[in-house]
Amino acid sequence: MSFHNNIFYQKTKDYSVSKEVFDLHHNPEFDMLLTFPKPSLEALPRYYESEDYISHTDGKRSLFEKVYQIVKGIALRKKLKLINTISEKGKLLDIGAGTGDFLSVAKKNNWNVIGIEPNKKAKSIATSKGVSLANDLKTLDNNSFDVITMWHVLEHVPNLEEYISELKRLIKPTGTIIIAVPNFKSFDANYYQEYWAAYDVPRHLWHFSKTAIQKLFAKQELNLVDVLPMKFDSYYVSLLSEKYKNGKMNFLNALWIGWKSNQYGKRKNEFSSHIYIIKNK
């Protein structure tokens, strides 16, 4: 896999931790953006060291966090309904399990669950909820999972090609991989541009389009069979983008842009975030 011949797309900033400026480069072969410069494996963890990194906490300190936790509860029920729709109950692997909420609800629904979570703080919270976590994908058996989920995780992995190859190794021949990632071709991405919160550089190393997901997984003989919208994401991302752009969360404008983004998504099939359903060919 080659990511050469990239074209400068725009600059953006790490608004939540380091305040450093990064470039986004467009790769025309895959129609995806790459964060440049890409931090080293040793440097990456420091960009996650923030009390504001909400997916690594169960915080309810502010109105925003309280709303986030309410919406997360609704999203968890939707995720559970999705996996129950596409598969008989079996063995589930959730990569980037965060504080373990999805694994917890799936376990209560009689799924056999295990997760991967590198962040120590989040891992400790997840373990306290009674879910099992493995230390490394490489310790897991070939063809052993009915469903593998990555909810806003693929954009974080440094070694993209190697990771997709591991997903291919781990999934059963009849299994399903579910990938959720932001979509840089959405209305809210175009509206907020360098302030778009879902760029989240440099934690997000890759920024995907539908074409990118289809081509990347096809190289491992994995087939994209469906694309679903994540309609809540347009509102959440717009709220954060308002903060980055204007210094405060303008709730009314964020709701308006989130709504417009979903209307655009319905017309163009380009939502703020997508869920990709992927199976073996």
CATH of the domain at 62: 3.40.50.150
Q: Where do we find the tokens 């983008």?
A: 241
Give me the helices (H) in 171-270, please: 187-192, 210-218, 231-246, 251-268
Domain for residue 21, yes or no?
Answer: no
Domain for residue 182, yes or no?
Answer: yes
* Whole-prediction pTM: 0.93
Helix (H) or strand (E) holding 223: strand 222-229
The answer to whether the beta carbons of residues 238 and 136 sit under 8 Å apart is: no
Which tokens go with 236?
Answer: 């959440």
pLDDT digits (tens, 9 = 90+) for 225-252: 999 999 999 999 999 999 999 999 899 9
Q: What per-residue confidence (pLDDT) applies to 67?
A: 63
Domain for residue 27, yes or no?
Answer: no
Domain that holds residue 260: 47-280
Beta bridge mates, 93: 114, 148
Domain count, the chain: 1
pLDDT digits (tens, 9 = 90+) for 169-197: 999 999 999 999 999 999 999 999 999 99
Domain for residue 11, yes or no?
Answer: no
Q: What per-residue confidence (pLDDT) applies to 61?
A: 57
